[in-house]
């Protein structure tokens, strides 16, 4: 394929290869096996060789669908984004839809914490069919609620950036926790005394750490996400007003 035919090095930017014979593996099989490998062992475990071993297939079977590992990652990321539903009990309530979608996105990140390491390596993620479906769903809800298309796009971008930022930090923490072999409470019991000593000269931080000692860390994470999301949506609503 010439440079004119494929401007971007992305699986979404090139036409699929036509084959007369039936390949031994389907694209869906390859992507599903890659996700299983990532969920089990993390990003460091993913390679075309290991994936081929897992599928009991040679490289030729996989390369008929993906040109390289970068294209595989694009497919994998879009597949897990497909787990995000743009729904709510009251679809006419834009705020409820956006809130539920944000929580669904966060849940996806926490189910697949390896995505933290992958996002920076993925090319044109916004051209993936599942990403476009999610974006179109949010834009539709917001536009029908009275936002202009540009306002809807700005709001969607802001909400997604918040969720990605919060969930990335949370997923990275849970990944570190899993590698340590500790429970969340065990980790907190070891860290908090040192943290409390470190913040003695900072009264507001000292008060925050003292409060968190009385709370379950999972609850603290839930509260921070929920409160932050409400702040973002309050801002979106105020701008619309």
Q: Which of 80, 109, 139 is the last residue of a domain?
A: 80
Identify whether residues 187 and 73 lie together within a single domain.
no
Q: Which of 56, 80, 104 is the last residue of a domain?
A: 80
Widest pairwise Cα distance in the chain: 71
Whole-number pLDDT of residue 23: 57
Q: How many domains does the chain have?
A: 2
Domain assignment present for residue 1? The answer is no
Identify whether residues 57 and 97 lie together within a single domain.
no
Domain assignment present for residue 132? The answer is yes
The count of other CB atoms within 10 Å of the CB of residue 183 is: 11
Whole-number pLDDT of residue 1: 45
- For 97-143, write each residue's pLDDT tens digit: 999 999 999 999 999 998 888 887 776 788 899 999 999 999 999 99
Domain assignment present for residue 3? The answer is no
Identify whether residues 69 and 98 lie together within a single domain.
no
Identify whether residues 89 and 25 lie together within a single domain.
no
The count of other CB atoms within 10 Å of the CB of residue 199 is: 16
Q: For residue 99, what are its two tokens?
A: 């809130």
Q: For residue 43, what are its two tokens?
A: 């990003």
Identify whether residues 88 and 48 lie together within a single domain.
no
Identify whether residues 173 and 108 lie together within a single domain.
yes
CATH code of 225's domain: 1.10.357.10
Identify whether residues 222 and 153 lie together within a single domain.
yes
Identify whether residues 26 and 128 lie together within a single domain.
no
Whole-number pLDDT of residue 68: 82
Domain assignment present for residue 5? The answer is no
Q: Which of 80, 101, 123 is the last residue of a domain?
A: 80
Dist. CA 137–CA 87, nearest whole Å: 9
The count of other CB atoms within 10 Å of the CB of residue 232 is: 18
DSSP 156-203: HHHHHHHHHHHHHHHHHHHHHHHHHT--HHHHHHHHHHHHHHHTTT-H
Dist. CA 136–CA 126, nearest whole Å: 11
Main-chain dihedrals φ then ψ at residue 58, nearest 5 degrees:
-85, 170
Identify whether residues 98 and 158 lie together within a single domain.
yes
User: Residue 53 sits in which domain range?
Assistant: 11-80
Low-confidence ranges of the chain (pLDDT < 50): 1-4
Whole-number pLDDT of residue 107: 96
Identify whether residues 226 and 176 lie together within a single domain.
yes
Question: Is there a contact between 104 and 145 (Cβ–Cβ < 8 Å)?
Answer: no
Domain assignment present for residue 61? The answer is yes
Dist. CA 35–CA 75, nearest whole Å: 10
Alpha helices in 56-183 (DSSP H): 59-63, 69-81, 94-111, 115-118, 129-144, 149-180
């Amino acid at each position: 394929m010439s440079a004119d035919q494929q401007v971007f090095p992305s699986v979404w930017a090139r036409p699929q290869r036509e084959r007369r014979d039936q390949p031994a593996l389907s694209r869906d099989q390859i992507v599903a096996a890659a996700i299983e490998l990532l969920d089990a062992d993390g990003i460091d475990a993913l390679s075309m060789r290991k994936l081929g071993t897992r599928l009991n297939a040679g490289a030729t079977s996989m390369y008929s669908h993906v040109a390289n590992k970068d294209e595989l990652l694009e497919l994998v990321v879009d597949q897990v984004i497909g787990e995000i539903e743009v729904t709510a009990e009251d679809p006419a309530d834009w705020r409820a839809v956006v809130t539920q979608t944000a929580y669904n996105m966060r849940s996806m990140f926490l189910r697949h914490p390896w995505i933290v390491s992958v996002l920076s390596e993925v090319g044109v993620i916004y051209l993936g069919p599942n990403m476009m479906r999610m974006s179109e769903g949010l834009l539709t809800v917001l536009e029908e609620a009275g936002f202009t298309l540009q306002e809807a796009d700005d709001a969607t971008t802001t909400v997604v950036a918040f969720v990605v930022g919060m969930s990335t930090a949370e997923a990275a923490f849970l990944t570190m926790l899993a590698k340590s072999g500790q429970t969340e409470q065990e980790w907190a019991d070891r860290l908090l005394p040192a943290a409390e000593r470190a913040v003695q000269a900072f009264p507001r931080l000292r008060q925050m750490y003292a409060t968190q000692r009385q709370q379950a860390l999972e609850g603290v994470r839930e509260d921070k996400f929920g409160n932050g999301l409400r702040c973002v949506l309050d801002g979106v609503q105020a701008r619309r007003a």
